[in-house]
Amino acid sequence: MTPEDRVEAQPLLRPPGGSVRRGRRVFLAAFAAALGPLSFGFALGYSFMLLLMCCMPETPRFLLTRHQRQEAAAAAQFLWGSEQGWEEPPVGAEHQGFRLAQLRRPSIYKPFVIGVSLMAFQQLSGINAVMFYAKTIFEEAKLRDSSLASVVVGVIQVLFTAMAAVIMDRAGRRLLLALSGVVMVFSSSAFGAYFKLTAGGPGNSSHADLLAPVSMEPADAGAGLAWLAVGSMCLFIAGFAVGWGPIPWLLMSEIFPLHVKGVATGVCVLTNWLMAFLVTKEFGRLMEVLRPYGAFWLASAFCLLSVLFTLSCVPETKGKTLEQITAHFEGR
């Protein structure tokens, strides 16, 4: 199920949903990395999952917007085994579809700005750059197995994403996002410090040279610095997995009213992939201008901004229905 389907169809099981989705993805990525050439078999599993979607019913909320109350009750019975714990939301003019004029309403533009900003900050944190450096850093630490870096990164993601799923309903989304951002600030700063300490001279280095920093220290000191990089990289990935990995996707599916959810989540997903493309494309050029340590310190600054944005703008949605969240943005 997509996050949107899960939020609409399973209000009682809503809190861990986003983490379960990301946990499944990172587990499969780690498992595929361990399998190596045999990982092509995952295509068969996805084909089977596509066939199973033919048996998936529409969500009760969607059916109510079409005034199909009997079908909505049947869908609730199918999804949960009973209708207990589900309240029928009001269906009126607010569910008639999205129009641009509605962007003037606080319940539309506020979550829209929050959703887009969360997706942008997720990519500006530098997570893809850290993932790109994983193999190089492990080799600098004298761990020569090329598949080890991907497996270790995947295991860390699975463990801490599972932890997020367990504690999210107790700790809340805002707290996990803020703590995740703080961890990423310090670990990304340490990662930049590693590149600063292992940087060569200020000459015209090629892009390939920047991707494999050469320590000017003795061999033992260089290995020690490499282990510092391994530790900060693992800490960064753990911090990302417990907060900024799954929670933006979960919040995106929670904060939008039902009648604009399709358009709004589409724009948020587009923002996420567009920022991922831009960051990946321009990060190499950024390292040439700022050097690798400057690029990662810039990512650390964006992580700090994400913490401030979370504390000042992101509402707590733990234990709230979609209607209560909409009322919050309306100021009611």
- DSSP states of 305-329: HHHHHHHHHPPP-TT--HHHHHHHH
Q: What angle do CA 45, 51, 56 make, to 5 degrees?
A: 115
Burial class (CB in 10 A: 0-12, 13-18, 19+), 68: middle
Which pLDDT score, from 0 to 100, does residue 93 have? 41
Tell me which residue of 7, 9, 3 sits closest to 57, measured CA to CA: 9
Q: What is the pLDDT of residues 135-163, one digit of tens each?
A: 777 776 656 565 677 778 888 888 888 88
Kindly give, in sequence order, each residue whose CB lies less than 8 Å from that of residue 126, ignoring residues fewer than 6 positions away: 188, 279, 283, 295, 296, 299, 300, 302, 303
Cβ atoms of 107 and 261 closer than 8 Å? no
What does the pLDDT average to over 225-241? 86
Rounded Cα gap, residues 272 and 108, in angstroms: 19
Which range has the worst mean pLDDT, 12-16, 46-50, 148-152? 12-16
Kindly give, in sequence order, each residue whose CB lies less than 8 Å from that of residue 277, ignoring residues fewer than 6 positions away: none
Q: What is the pLDDT of residues 69-105, one digit of tens each?
A: 777 777 777 766 655 555 555 444 445 556 666 677 8
Tokens of 92: 């009126």
Measured CA to CA in angstroms, residue 53 lies from 46, 50, 70, 249, 277 at distances of: 11, 5, 22, 21, 29
User: Of all helices (H) and strands (E), which one includes residue 169?
Assistant: helix 148-171
What does the pLDDT average to over 229-241? 89
Cβ atoms of 72 and 63 closer than 8 Å? yes
Rounded Cα gap, residues 65 and 71, in angstroms: 11
> Is residue 287 over pLDDT 80?
yes
User: Of all helices (H) and strands (E), which one includes residue 203?
Assistant: none
Higher pLDDT among residues 285 and 212, named by residue: 285
What does the pLDDT average to over 44-69? 72
Tokens of 136: 């190089």
Which pLDDT score, from 0 to 100, does residue 5 have? 54
Cα dihedral 206, 273, 234, 114 sign: positive
Select, from the ranges 48-52, 108-112, 302-306, the one with the highest average predicted confidence (pLDDT): 302-306
Position 217: which residue type? E
- Mean pLDDT estimate for the chain: 75
Kindly give, in sequence order, each residue whose CB lies less than 8 Å from that of residue 297, ignoring residues fewer than 6 positions away: 188, 189, 192, 290
Residue 314 pLDDT grade (very low, low, confident, very high; cuts 50, 70, 90): very high
Which pLDDT score, from 0 to 100, does residue 123 have? 93
Rounded Cα gap, residues 152 and 159, in angstroms: 11
Residue 240 pLDDT grade (very low, low, confident, very high; cuts 50, 70, 90): very high
Which pLDDT score, from 0 to 100, does residue 178 have? 94
Which pLDDT score, from 0 to 100, does residue 87 have? 55
> Global pTM?
0.73
Tokens of 238: 């753990």
Rounded Cα gap, residues 239 and 120, in angstroms: 17
CA dihedral 316, 317, 319, 321 (to 10 degrees): 150
Which pLDDT score, from 0 to 100, does residue 181 have? 95
Rounded Cα gap, residues 167 and 316, in angstroms: 14
Which pLDDT score, from 0 to 100, does residue 114 have? 94
Q: What is the pLDDT of residues 108-145, one digit of tens each?
A: 888 999 999 999 999 999 888 888 777 777 776 656 56
Tokens of 294: 């400057």
Rounded Cα gap, residues 154 and 236, in angstroms: 13
What does the pLDDT average to over 180-195? 92
Domains of the chain, first to last: 106-330 (1.20.1250.20)
Q: What are phi and psi of 144, to 5 degrees?
A: -85, -10
Percent of the chain with pLDDT over 90: 22
